[in-house]
Copies of this chain bind each other. A is one copy, B any other.
Amino acid sequence: MAEPPPNRQPPSSRTAFIEATADLMRRQGYGATAISEIVALSGAPKGSLYFHFPGGKEQLAAEAVSSAGERLRGQIAAILSSSDDLAVCIGRLIDALAAGLERSDYQRGCPIATVTLEAASASEAIRVSADAVFGSWLTVLAARMRADGLDPAAAERRATFVLSAVEGALILARARGQLEPLIAVRQELTAGPFGR
């Protein structure tokens, strides 16, 4: 079973490992994801995994959290600048998450929530990575709230509230296997007291 010693790997192996890890952890979490499964899904040579990630699964998970988080941050930023009407933007953000959840047969909710809950207590590297990702999303959301006229403290608070409501609705929707919780939160955030 000896693999040839890893040497100069093409840059794509590294990315393939991270993307496979991110996808598996999004659907089933950190604990259930085995290194062998990551290797199989990545299509990259097994021997190169510890070359790129000497910290093994924990390092892979922390980097997968960062990578998935940065991708979603870009999508959030694009959606939040898609209209002058904040409620329209928030509605579109929830619609995009709901569409992704439904398309994946309720497997793909928040890319980092599962691993955060599993590993926040056991791995400081993963906790720090998850906190940085949530922080980056909150920064984008809070900037949009400020553009809508809230002062910085209120914008930060409102951003935390909106992100929390969406994260929680994604949990409830995965449990129910239906979009209703996301639809309810969308309605409250866009047509309730906040949307008026």
Contacts and interface: CB of A to CB of B under 8 A. Distances in A.
Residue of A120, A168, A177 ringed by the most chain B CB atoms within 10 A: A168
A180 B176 CA distance: 29
Contact of A30 (B32, B113, B188, B196): B32
Contacts of A116: 171, 174-175
Contacts of A131: 175-177
A9 interface: no
A83 interface: no
A163 B157 contact: no
Question: Chain A interface mostly helix, strand, loop or mixed?
Answer: helix
Given A109-B117, A117-B174, A120-B106, A188 B130 contact: no
A67 interface: no
Interface string A85-125: 00000000000000000000111010001101110111000
Interface string A137-166: 000000000000000000011101101111
A40 interface: no
A51 interface: no
Interface of A: 27-33, 105-107, 109, 113-114, 116-118, 120-122, 127, 130-131, 134, 156-158, 160-161, 163-169, 171-172, 174-177, 180-181, 184-185, 187-189, 192-194, 196
20 contacts: A29-B118, A30-B31, A31-B31, A31-B33, A32-B122, A109-B117, A116-B174, A118-B118, A131-B175, A131-B177, A134-B175, A157-B184, A160-B181, A161-B165, A161-B189, A161-B192, A164-B164, A164-B168, A164-B172, A167-B168
